[in-house]
Amino acid sequence: MVRACISGRPARLALICSCVCLPGLTLASPIFQPPGSSLTWGEVSHGQVAGSATGNPAAAAAASDAGLRKTALGVSASAGLEYGNLQELFDKIDELARSFRPSDPGDIEEPPPGQDPDKPDDGIDLGDIWDNLDPDVREAVDAIARDLAIRTALLGIVRNEGFAKAWLAADVPLVIGREFLGGTWTVGMNWSGASKTFGIAEPVEFDPDEAREKIDDWLNQLPIERPDWLDVGEDVSLRILPESGSIRMVLRNDSSLVSKSTQTTQVSAGYSRGAWSNDRGTLYLGAKGHVYLMRLSRLSVRFGDITDSKELFDEIRDADFRSDTRVGLDVGALWVSGNYQVGLQWDNINEPEFSFPDVELSPYSSPDIVAFLQRDKTYQMDSQLKIEGSIFSSDRRWSAHLGYDLDPARDATGDRYQWLTLSAGLITDRWWLPGLRVGYRKNVVGTQVGFLSLGLTAFKYINFDISSALDTVRIDGDDLPQGLMASVGFDFAW
């Protein structure tokens, strides 16, 4: 038996993910979007702007004790785009959808939004390859295998190259350096939204020997007695159109598109203070609590029930949301010495868990697909350890920084992130250009895209940062960066 496997397990197609953050007092950002000048610095406690004191929960007290600020406020707006080879993506999905037979009448309680509930049995036109099922059965079976390979490759292209993410963010980190209960306080609120559509694919079962036998049996019947439908495998049928003499191949399985959307409001408060000190440095400890108010939406549609993918994605944006509320806790430690500091933080210690709405399972017969859709209902924020290290010149004009996530974390749409960041900066005496910085960041899992970043501080308070992916993709014949991000913001301290 030949197993024409589109994917050995549910395959994920990242297609569209848009993330929008509205203004608020921000202590934490989505794991895919570094806020403000951290676009260049990375999520490290560099001490140059207010946002650097809101990553590691211990950083605010260290910054206050160093005299860099007592109270600090930052305002920044960021935008980003990351995409794959998107050319004719909707056409590719619609072509795949035509390859699959629609659900049987009565199987679907409600038709997919924006789709024709009476989708015709279409299939793949095999043209004149077989000369109306010529007695050369081996050639006919080879033609089926070739076209199955095309469908497999096409779905692979959509899965691996068809993804896009876009986001906007507005952040206002606030550090309160006044002594209260012996430490430094941070407060904040963040809103973010994300949407993503991906594919899950079921293997296509096809046995060439079984197909040859069934085609032989079909040819041995009188032409007037031959059926219009011929099953040549568990998942493969031939549809014969006598009026035109054409033959179409139709696939029967539960390969699907799934869409997930989230909207998250996050309210946070943090506290940090010096815990121990000697002649060589000071150890700072801190904790940060979050309340997550999340709204979640989910939709699943079999490829066989898709008639217009673009219309489907338009309808997805208007889907109903389910509300879920949880709490989270971060802790951190930072050792600060004369010319260096090292830190450790542990995010989402309690791994809060959220639930997406149920999806319509009545059209599905595959136990594997049904099991995946049931598992996919739950989103759990991953616990994640992060380390950081910085070195400074004696006057702190020069600095270099390293940040690394020790383990990966998934966002609510299922994308995996584990950032490695390297950065360096210079502080000058010029009020019109007091700061310059350069950085490199790479997601070492998931998309594995690397970004080169440049930033500057102008007129003492204004920060500009831009980041471009080093890899390129081809869009409409042009080679473009696979991702691009930019940020502008202000920082004040008093």
Domains and CATH numbers, the chain: 2-86+162-202+255-493 (2.40.160), 89-149+203-251 (no CATH)
Give the H or E element holding residue 391. Answer: strand 384-392
How many whole angstroms separate alpha carbon 143 and alpha carbon 130?
A: 8
CA angle (412, 153, 136) in 5-degree steps:
145
Residues 6+ positions from 304 with CB-CB distance below 8 Å: 97, 100, 101, 102, 103, 119, 251, 252
Q: What is the pLDDT along the chain (494 residues), one digit of tens a residue?
A: 333 333 333 333 232 222 222 222 233 445 656 767 888 888 888 765 555 666 799 988 887 776 555 566 667 767 677 765 555 455 556 666 666 666 665 566 665 665 555 655 556 555 544 444 555 666 667 767 766 665 665 555 455 454 555 566 666 667 776 566 778 888 877 777 777 777 777 777 777 778 778 877 877 777 777 777 778 777 777 777 766 666 777 777 788 878 788 888 888 889 999 999 999 999 999 999 999 999 998 888 887 777 766 666 666 666 778 999 999 999 999 999 989 999 999 999 999 999 999 988 888 888 988 999 999 999 999 999 999 999 988 887 899 999 999 999 998 878 888 999 999 999 888 888 888 999 999 999 987 889 999 999 898 888 899 999 888 776 666 777 878 888 887 776 65
Please state, in angstroms and rounded to a whole number, the distance separating the CA atoms of residues 260 and 300: 9
Alpha helix positions (H), 137-286: 137-161, 208-219
Q: Where are the beta strands (DSSP E) in 153-245?
A: 164-171, 174-180, 183-200, 204-206, 229-231, 236-241
Rounded Cα distance, 55 and 331, in Å: 10
